Structure 1
């Protein structure tokens, strides 16, 4: 017997057509560089994305499956690129504007970008990148984000480029496994590597992302994209939001706590997404005794990029704002798992509910997950046995762009080795113990920096904290807590240690603390532990023998 189903290739063009046909009245609300609000309907996004596609093919002659880069903040023009570039048969390549010029130049060269679409306010950054390019000479298209700025020599204006009738534009016929977009890894252990998504993987990811226990998106939602659109495609939420017909809210470069609270009051989002450090900052602003905020009741917050402390979940719950933690990485598009709230979870005491929500959760639909020890042997799901988290699925990468297959990143039977160490309990809930390179081995015992960080940040006077290993003459390594006090707080090392004492085994209780004004971060908002290790590489632990 054969299947009788139609063989219709999946394509992001389907999402664009759906939005233009059924949700044309939905809006993209953004903030301009001067903080004025500007909106654009999905009908306009649909029309302009198709105009961009036609211009890329006809005027700029971008070959099929070639990369077109964006160097942009979150705004409606960028959303048009998300769909217009693939609609041209090209590959959307989002550049991380928080990287150094040298890093951006390396990535542009490695991807072979034919065109770079850049915000006018980011032209000074591009001018630092351009002389460092070795293999690429891309055409420059400038988005009038601020407006009124002169074009560099040889550059094209975005608006003049797309000023054409594309009502009869025909999408190129493509196989669903052809490339649709690419993002680069953070490069914390070497040069960044390109992950190339397919039309099939992106559409499946977008559809699954809409389900209730994930993004839970509908045409009644308003989605605030705090996560940059250059960071794993804003977790691919723009694709799910357009598919569902949800409004999208773009903050642009205005990412301070007060700015985001102002935007939330104005736009009243039902879902917002961002890394934990963003929400720490928002909570501090929310608790400041300046004025009462009229925030949307019941707002959901999708948080990812780093582990979420239980204290953060509890703090926002008091404001009727509910955190959903997601786990994933660039290589997983990025949805890998979420802590699905099963009915039995709601029967637990509130503190235990928060602990369950702070886990990384169960694998998303269509993704498989396992943990394995150093020999590759699968570990039991007992909540205690730990091992490397490994995944596979239709939106999990099986390779990297332009480099030989790395056996250190993929198992012989085809699973992605994530580098995260975790446990899985009998109910299938995964908990990240640490990154393999961040675990601390003290006197033969393993200490999780993630667990220790979360305990430290549960102290009411600690704003944020990162933990790294430092040398000890007897124990090999000991934990160093690098912490930031909340404004006006007077907690000291002795007080923090006493707070931790009943919560930790003796070997895991830190003796070493460093109080700082701020913790260095990566371009995606994570704690930059490589920098901390450099700063404290000569530090010797004060722990007694």
Structure 2
């Protein structure tokens, strides 16, 4: 067989040759622009030329601090195709972690959105090795700053060569991207993505039984482009000629609903909190969402009630997926097999609420103290993953021994696998509740709570108990104008679970703390609950 390199340069060349008239619809602070792929690929070449002129060399890291828009998409391809490394930086980390990430990655250049420039101002004295900061803006003037190494993205591109040659000889195993975990425990850890991994992951996104992304789609990645490469969608979409709708800065549920209606979006991707917000927007407004062939949901388990609402009330197919920063991220998707279509509605819903089947190319297994778990839908164990787009260590080998052992990524997620091979995430290993020697899944209780029509969101944690070791406490946020008592919640749960699973306390809250990418931040929640319980303790 021919030894051809699987790299991003081949993707760009394919798009500019075969899909010049396809478009990127980009929402920025200046409005919404529609840009043909021929212009996008020209700008990719111009940006590659700019970076070369600035002294960026093979292997150098170039950081981006940006929303989902066309300039960020250009960086996705220009940086790796000139031999450098695209480092997408989480805009919602603390200033201390932001400086740490930039310094740990040794970023040479930063591409920063105009409205996010204050993030850099706060840490400017801590990132002294950054040589140039390029501001991405629609305006003719740059933000006021005391920094001297600042330039305009558009001005630089205007003076660059539109025919800049992209690197043809990039080794497929070279690093193309770098993304840091959200750092829920300790400092964020870097995950490096190779050209080969991104290429193969993109192919997997095009399979009919996975995401099925194609030229005919109009795709909107709501998941941030700084989070696991927006689940790889921008890479695959440009390569396949997919029309892309990039929702830009701070997209509200109403903005998303309007974009879906106006641009006839066929598929969108985001975390459960995004889709909970969209559901509320649909309930409060009148939007045409009939163009949607699916919503892709990942990041954490989606409650059955939300899946039922999208599919039954709004006729929007809902596809549950699982992955993580270390896996590029797609590992499993909840697609029904052909003969499962004949099951009744509740059985289909149960299957669709699981994380689903492993995608072709990836291997998984669950292990516990007794060895590998059985495919019986009951035995639980930690999920292990390996495959061509799965990381084999953390960047600079930081604490890699905690997660990468014997050729497998140990995910820290507790699962069961049913007879059909469908995976269900039961919990994180650190979030499982052990009460009186028996395990309780916080995720199962959370999903049950969020099926209640009055509940907006819910999270369950363990609190120490002198008799049972640990007991569950439920934290509940109600929808507007809804009321429930603690007893109401317990009575709702009682028919669904064994008695010892029912939370001892139900705490009603205005908001549940979340990570930068919308997952429940249980570390902060535990501290908050501890304080609330101590205040309510009459002793």
What is the TM-score of this pair, normalised by structure 2?
0.96
Residue 39 (structure 1) aligned with residue 39 (structure 2): no
Out of 113, 123, 127, the residue aligned to residue 119 of structure 1 is 113
Matched, 1:187 2:180: no
SS of 1:402 mapped into structure 2: helix
Equivalence map 1:141-290=2 (5 Å): 141-145=134-138, 148-150=141-143, 152=145, 153-162=148-157, 163-167=159-163, 169-171=165-167, 173-288=169-284
| Alignment partner of 2:71 out of 74, 77, 80 | 77
1:302 aligns with 2:296: yes
- Residue 129 of structure 1: how far off its partner (Å): 2.1
Q: What is the CA-CA distance between 1:147 and the residue it aligns to?
A: 5.1
Counterpart of 2:43? 48
Q: 5 Å matches for 1:400-411?
A: 400-403=394-397, 406-411=400-405
How far did residue 457 of structure 1 move?
A: 0.4
What's the counterpart of residue 129 of structure 1? 123
Per-residue deviation at 1:133? 2.6
Question: Matched residue of 1:533: which SS?
Answer: helix
1:525 to 518, 534, 538: 518
Query: 1:255 Cα deviation (Å)?
Result: 2.0
Q: Does 1:11 align with 2:4?
A: no
8 Å CA contact retained: 2:48, 2:164 = no
Give, in whole Å, the separation in 2 of the partners of 1:326 and 1:388. Answer: 18
Specify the SS of the correspondent of 1:519.
coil
Equivalents in 2 of 1:120, 1:176: separation in Å?
34
- 2:23–2:244: 8 Å Cα contact kept in structure 1? yes
Structure 2, unaligned runs of 5 or more: none
Give the drift of 1:218: 1.4
Q: Is the counterpart of residue 327 in structure 1 residue 322 in structure 2?
A: yes
SS across alignment from 1:467: strand
Runs of 4+ in 1 over 4 A off after TM superposition: 540-543
Q: Distance in 1 between matches of 2:136 and 2:427?
A: 41
Counterpart of 1:132 in 2: which secondary structure?
Answer: coil
SS at match of 2:395: coil
For residues 374 and 188 of structure 1, the distance between their equivalents in structure 2, rounded to whole angstroms, comes to 26
Q: Secondary structure at the match of 2:125?
A: helix
Separation of aligned partners in 1, 2:291 and 2:213: 17
Question: Judging changes above 3 Å, is the alpha-carbon distance between structure 1 residues 492 and 165 closer, same or farther for their aligned structure 2 residues?
Answer: same
Aligned counterpart in structure 1 of residue 358 of structure 2, from 363, 368, 376: 363
Give yes or no for contact 2:414–2:425 (8 Å, CA) kept in 1. yes
> Which of these residues, 66, 84, 90, is aligned with residue 96 of structure 1?
90
CA displacement 1:474-494 (0-9 Å, x = unmatched): 111111111111111112211
Question: What secondary structure does 2:473 align onto?
Answer: strand
Q: CA deviation at 1:166?
A: 3.4
**For each residue in 1:220-245, what CA deviation from the matched residue of structure 2 results, as whole angstroms up to 9, or x when unmatched?**
11001111000000001111111211
Q: 2:507 aligns with which of 507, 511, 514?
A: 514
In structure 2, the CA distance between the partners of 1:257 and 1:404, relative to structure 1 (3 Å rule), is closer
Q: Can you list the C-alpha shifts for 1:396-426, whole angstroms capped at 9, x where unaligned?
A: 0001111356332122x21000000001111
Alpha-carbon RMSD across the aligned residues, in angstroms, is: 1.7
Query: How far apart are 1:296 and its partner, in Å?
Result: 2.9
Aligned to 2:477: 484
Is the 2:131–2:149 contact (alpha carbons within 8 Å) kept by the matching residues of 1? no
For the residue of structure 2 that corresponds to 1:21, the secondary structure is: helix
User: 1: CA distance between counterparts of 2:281 and 2:390?
Assistant: 37
The answer to whether the Cα contact below 8 Å between 2:82 and 2:166 also exists between their aligned partners in 1 is no
Map of 1:293 onto structure 2? 287
Which residue pairs with 2:61 in the alignment? Answer: 67
Q: Cα offset for 1:55? A: 1.7
| CA-to-aligned-CA distance 1:269-321 (integer Å, 9 cap, x gap) | 00001100010011012112xx4222234431010001011111110012111
Q: In 2, Cα distance between the equivalents of 1:55 and 1:32?
A: 22
| Change in CA separation of 1:296 and 1:37 when aligned onto 2, cut-off 3 Å | farther
SS at match of 2:397: coil
Deviation at 1:33, TM superposition (A): 1.7
Give the direction of change, closer, same or farther, for the CA distance of 1:145–1:467 in structure 2 (3 Å limit).
farther
* Residue in 2 that maps onto 1:384: 378
In 1, distance between residues paired with 2:484 and 2:366? Answer: 39
For residues 31-70 of structure 1, the C-alpha deviation after alignment (integer angstroms, 9 at most, x for no partner) is 2225x2112111111011011112211x111121111000
Partner of residue 501, structure 1: 494
CA distance in structure 2 between the partners assigned to 1:63 and 1:298 by the alignment: 42
Which whole-Å CA distance do the structure 1 matches of 2:397 and 2:210 have between them?
A: 33
Pairwise CA distance, 1:353: 0.7
How big is the shift at 1:9?
A: 0.6
Structure 2 CA distance for partners of 1:321 and 1:205, relative to 1, 3 Å: same
Match in the other structure for 2:417: 424
> Which ranges of structure 1 fall in alignment gaps of 5 or more residues?
none
Match of 1:440?
433
Deviation at 1:456, TM superposition (A): 0.4
Contact 2:355 2:423 in 1 (8 A): yes
What is the rounded CA distance, in whole Å, between the counterparts of 2:419 and 2:258 in structure 1? Answer: 43
In the TM superposition, what is the alpha-carbon distance from 1:458 to its structure 2 partner? 0.6
Asked whether the equivalents of residues 9 and 168 of structure 2 are also in contact (C-alpha less than 8 Å), the reply is no
User: 2:142 & 2:151 partners in 1: Cα distance?
Assistant: 12
SS of equivalent residue, structure 2 residue 220? strand
Aligned length: 532
Pair 1:541–1:510, CA change in 2 (3 A): farther
* Residues 46 and 164 in structure 2, CA contact (< 8 A), matched pair in contact too: no
Q: CA deviation at 1:130?
A: 1.6
